Chains A and B, each alone.
Chain A
Amino acid sequence: MNTLIWVVLPYACLIVFVAGHVWRWRHDQFGWTTHTSQLLESRLLRLGSPLFHLGAFGVIGGHAMGLLVPAPVTEALGVPEHVYHAVAVWGGALTGTVLVAGLLLLIARRLVSARIRRVTTRMDKVLYAFLAAMVVLGMTATVATNLLGDGYDYRETIAVWFRGIFWFQPHTELMTGAPLVYQLHAVGGFLFLALWPFTRLVHVWSAPLAYLWRPYVVYRARRGPFPAPGPTPAEVRSSNAGKAEQALHLHHG
């Protein structure tokens, strides 16, 4: 059971994540879009969308810091444990709050505006529900456990397990002792990665940074074949004549 959850599931999700993106990129360029709905509603979006995105940047950065940087590295850099802890907890709580505020506004927007409700797909609903669940679990872990509670040093367990996955040395025993909310958040995180390529989240990989150094006006030559011209009357006549001749030969031959 432990192997299934802490080894098989992460690898399965990562495979779906990579393969899903490859498949989507190759087969659904037309569907690869932010799916903007600002045209239909901009009052709530004007506040909600920047909050959500900025919060998400902070949260992603925080996860990278917590999961990818081993504790000995920050120690070697001379960052005391209590400083690291304060940055992680307070930074996490702050960016998390921004994210929650943005997400609440965006969900409210989907519910309140009849126009937005109508263009919300089933996949959008799954995505919003998943995001909300992940944010609730993550905020519970940060605020309830680490800020208000006794605290849990995930850097010695979850982070090591997470990095181990990429070295093909997953230490399942590190996860079995983790608090339930962390376990759920970790499982949910991998499931979320598996969902990613099939949602509008793919627009993240198209962040238009190349725009900064591209020439303003883009010229492009016409691509693709010209529609094949139909046969000319002369060609039709000659091919008909050929067929007639052939038929005659068959008849007499």
Chain B
Amino acid sequence: MRIRAQMAMVMNLDKCIGCHTCSVTCKQTWTNREGTEYVWFNNVETKPGIGYPKHYEDQERWKGGWKLDARGRLTLRSGGRGKRLSRLFANPDLPSIDDYYEPATFDKDILVNAPGGLTDTPVKQPYSTLTGKPMAITWGANWEDSLGGSSGQDDPNLARMTAKVKFEFEKTFMFHLPRICEHCLNPACVSACLSGAMYKREEDGIVLVDQDRCRGWRMCVSACPYKKVYVNHATGKAEKCTFCFPRLEAGLPTICSETCVGRLRYLGLLWYDEDAVLAAASVEDDADLLDAQRSVFLDPNDPAVRQAARDAGMPEDWIEAAAASPVWKLIAEYKIALPLHPEYRTLPMVWYVPPLSPVLDAAGAAGRDDSDADDIFHTIRDLRIPVEYLAELFTAGDTSAVAGVLMKLAAMRSYMRARTLDGTVAQELLDGVGMSAGQVEAMYRLLAVAKYADRYVIPAAHKRQAAELEALGAEHDTCPVSDGPHALEITPLPGRS
């Protein structure tokens, strides 16, 4: 067993209102530069929809992620090492800028300098930032927002479902899906990087591009099945979501989390066994992928695991942070968070609590009571439409796994309603989902009312602290964290409660 720490994220999709604040603040922080106009490290898609870039989930076309070869060995979908080298001069799997969109800017001078007394309102014209010429805007990173572009029917996930479902689908529901880099345990981009410029950080698993070593071979862009590595066409180098590592190192959440209006994001540590990653990514049956991927995580409350972490040199505050991680709770304890497209076999590290709202909508549309747990349970079981779709996204098509999570969310709602309104404990609901009252109430607190410090459990860059404490210890010969004249002054981070 080789224990490693991974900074991971969970997003609770029921709380996403599709406001794009995360996208905008991320763009202001990271990609408001020449050559990255079209780049959104964070984007919010409406599902069903074709996404950004267009149809990125269609791996028959883009050849992203991993697959098992004829002999059952894990291999990049785009082929072996030799094949990739042979495509150095023209990469057939690379999306073009038009698969993203042609970025535009506006001539705002025309508004500012318009003379007074005009009978017509001056209009600012869009200009292409690629050619500098006037252009018509016909696509964008969120063109199909709230099903506005009506491209929902072309969603690659729908193509994998049955025809009947597809037909009735669009009327049924929609939800928002915020996406960032998955910082995978088995990253396809890193594995396809010809120059070895991409790497996974040993300390926290963040996947980064060394800008000095990237040579612009662009295989990372096509290898990532989530299409979250981008070419900066001004510098000729690859760029991607950094998980805001300078903020994390200071103990602060990523900018997308910090500014999330719905407070739907959770950040925390996960421990995993590096030696188990390859086997988990190589399981034969797609339906076993979810359990296999869960199985690589190590329980931060298990004394043996904690000792292993200590032996691996992890500082105490990281061990405590792992035990308090909301991400661990949502993924492994309550088991309500699911990975996005586990069938890509990259072991993504941004997981999602699937939305119950499509099911509630469907229950309402079917004339059922969307506040009654029994009716919701029946809807989950009977109405295959939303559940099958969610299964395509989060469980490689396994509807029972998604239904199980939705049942837990529905049970929690009804249990808490009864608990709050008349103080009763709906034991039959707890039995139905196999959770204790304490668990459900803790889960409710984490999902509904968790404070800043509970949602973001981020140990600050540990080396500095360790070095400081060591120096202090040598100076004072006693534990500095105590009362008295030499007590260490701990300045709390400027957080909120």
Contact = CB atoms under 8 A, between A and B. Distances in A.
B116 interface: no
A41 to B, nearest CB: 8
B81 interface: yes
Contact of A217 (B92, B97, B190, B195): B190
Interface string B189-200: 011011110111
Interface in A84-134: 114-115, 118-119
Contact of B489 (A39, A220, A227, A232): A232
Interface in B317-347: none
Given A208-B217, A226-B461, A39 B94 contact: yes
Given A32-B215, A34-B215, A38-B218, A218 B199 contact: yes
A216 to B, nearest CB: 4
B167 interface: no
Interface string B456-471: 0000010110001000
Interface in A53-112: 53-54
Interface string B78-97: 00011011001111101111
B55 interface: no
A47 B90 CA distance: 8
Contacts of A220: 199-202
A119 B231 CA distance: 13
A166 interface: no
Nearest to B66: A216
Contacts of B212: 29-30, 32
A208 B86 CA distance: 11
Interface centre among B91, B95, B198 (most CB of A within 10 A): B91
B213 A29 contact: yes
Contacts of A114: 130-131, 133
Specify the main secondary structure of chain B where it touches its partner: loop
B315 interface: no
Contact of B187 (A35, A212, A217): A217
Nearest to B464: A226
A211 interface: yes
A182 B194 CA distance: 38
B368 interface: no
Contacts of A32: 212, 215
B132 interface: yes
Nearest to A49: B89
Nearest to B208: A220
A164 interface: no
A219 interface: yes
A47 B463 CA distance: 51
Contact of B92 (A40, A46, A226): A46
16 contacts: A30-B237, A33-B214, A33-B235, A33-B237, A36-B218, A36-B231, A37-B233, A37-B236, A38-B96, A119-B234, A200-B236, A211-B84, A219-B200, A219-B202, A227-B249, A233-B491
Interface of A: 29-30, 32-42, 45-47, 49-50, 52-54, 114-115, 118-119, 200, 203, 206, 208-212, 214, 216-222, 226-227, 229, 232-234
Given A36-B218, A36-B231, A219-B201, 20 more contacts: A30-B235, A35-B236, A36-B217, A38-B94, A39-B231, A42-B96, A115-B131, A119-B233, A210-B196, A211-B85, A212-B81, A212-B85, A217-B186, A217-B190, A217-B200, A218-B190, A219-B202, A220-B199, A220-B200, A233-B491
